[in-house]
Structure 1
Amino acid sequence: MTVTDILPVPAWRDDLPLEYAALVERLEPLLPCLEVPMHLPWIDAINALKQQRGAVIMAHSYQSPEIFHGVADITGDSLGLAQAAADCDAELIVVCGVHFMAESAKILAPGKTVLIPDLEAGCSLASSITAADVLALRAQHPGVPVVSYANTSAAVKAESDVICTSANAVQVVESLGVPKVIFLPDEFLGRHVAGQTKVELVLWHGRCEVHEKFTAQQARHAREQFDAKLVAHPECPPEVLAEADFVGSTTAMGKWLEREKPARVAMITECSMADNLRVQFPTTQFIKPCNLCPHMQRITLQNIYACLRDLQHAIEIPADVSARARAALQRMLAVGRRESV
């Protein structure tokens, strides 16, 4: 049984298209036109409940447009959302993203209530490694510090020396001032970082199930068939990155588009991000070699509404795990974020 089986659909009001005219205009180019009216009652109900609860809704860049544009108060990458959770005034936060993102928000805002609409919204990278795996690697490489990607569980973060994002991974690795680092868990991001530093990296075998599907042939086809610039996330395979005009994090991709203003671009990353960026860059044609994250797709307007209505799926992290994970995140924040790569 799904959430939509048990939730009554909010009543349609004839004034909804007028009240949400600006949003309708924004969504219609991004979604099949018949979907937009179906979303409006849910968007309206969520916005009313959000105001009643005094809640803030945060959405990752990979969320579908009706969530990203329709109900989110704050949007961004996983670290940006976690920092916003700590900085915002709201005591109730709904994270529209995957589980490790909600955990990160709770780690940096331990006194706030952090909810996730679906507890099963996971991540292949986060599930590829456990805290026990980190301890085993430390035993195999005594004295070698551990740098873990933000796409990891709170338990793994707690066993790490410092966290990194795809934007600042090289900077974080080199900040340790050591010749060798254990880098977890993304193998392809690790290879990309290894190519930009003299620090030796011990890599894990984790991969993003979305980004690993892209191929060099797809990238070349986008360039040759559409004369498109190629922008790729560093979680993609090395042969895909070799074809790209730019490789960078989700935030860095947006900055590159703003700077370069290409006529056509192929976003080699999760499909919804291109949809959401089309609003910001209307003069750029987006060619989508489309892979959707099945975990991000678990977040829907319906389960966001249920989450707010019932205050369900609160993120709880043991205090000692949270404290150690927070220390690792704060070490990264002390290094800084390199947004412009």
Structure 2
Amino acid sequence: MSIPTLFTPYSVRSVTMRNRLWVAPMCEYSVEKHDGVPTDWHLVHLGGFAKGGAGLVITEATAVSAEGRISPEDTGIYSDEQRDAWSRIVAFIHSQGAVAGIQLSHAGRKASTWRPWAPERGTVPQSEGGWLAVAPSAVAFTGYAVPAELDRAGIDGIVADFAAATRRSIDAGFDVLELHAAHGYLLHQFLSPLSNLRTDEYGGSLENRARLLLEVIAAVRAEAGEAAALFVRFSATDWADGGWDQEQTATVAGWARDAGADFFDISTGGLVSGTTIPLAPGYQVPFADFVKHASSVEVSAVGLITEARQAEEIITSGRADAVMLARAIMRDPHFPLRAAHELGVELDYWPAQYLRAKWPA
């Protein structure tokens, strides 16, 4: 009997994932010292997914600078101490047979916010450990403080921060680098005409709005070398009139591929509040499908993918090359092992310590 496509290996450059069930970035807001250094929580959280059989485990949005953190409790990769702490986590992920990825991020105007379970909402004031956020334009996200508009020196500094974060990520042992250009964070803010009102070479036309992303991709590829896999996460729509959409996403994905990116992680939304999103199982898969075929690029799909056969069908139908799991794998970190059982696949990477819990053949 042939192996379901979901459990066949998948390679990007020199990196091979053992299957196509991958862990999407999920913010944990759990750095208690506000120093960006990942903790034992991150080791157990991410290591559990590797132990559970995932092919690729990607970290939460990891800031390339202190000002790029979403919250004071976010992780970073802008210091050697952070690099060394990530190295320990990467080593464990590798020990379980999974590939380790890091999502490099700058929150832009959505930086310096309270973590979700804090009683407060909105922007953390500077008097309480917050900072002034930056953005392409001085336009606030709903309920947040107005950011400072980046000047040319600031933009050049962003590119340099991504390059430096790349070097530390490679030194920490990460196999996959993912640039966060989705969910309303800085690179997405430059892409969307709803948040980018600039009139210089970084605003206006699609080419100008994509300029920063393409500069970051070039800088990251130059620093990472040819072996590392480079992903870009896009929100394929703002779900808002006049905003970023799937056609623009497909066009820029082609440019990004030509600039050195390899693979595209397709999500949606996050730039503006008050939108209506038609939530349903696999509701974002059509966007991945569109980008894949419009631009002839490789993509993953994410969003309410909760069942093994659903995931298998997404791949065998040709709509995506892999699936990303978030809430479903948080509920069941051993989702890949369970999915293999449901699809009749005999895996050789069950943890030896757990073999007595394996289902009978």
TM-score (ref. length: structure 2): 0.29
The structure, 1 or 2, with the larger RCO (C-alpha pairs under 8 Å, 6+ apart) is 1
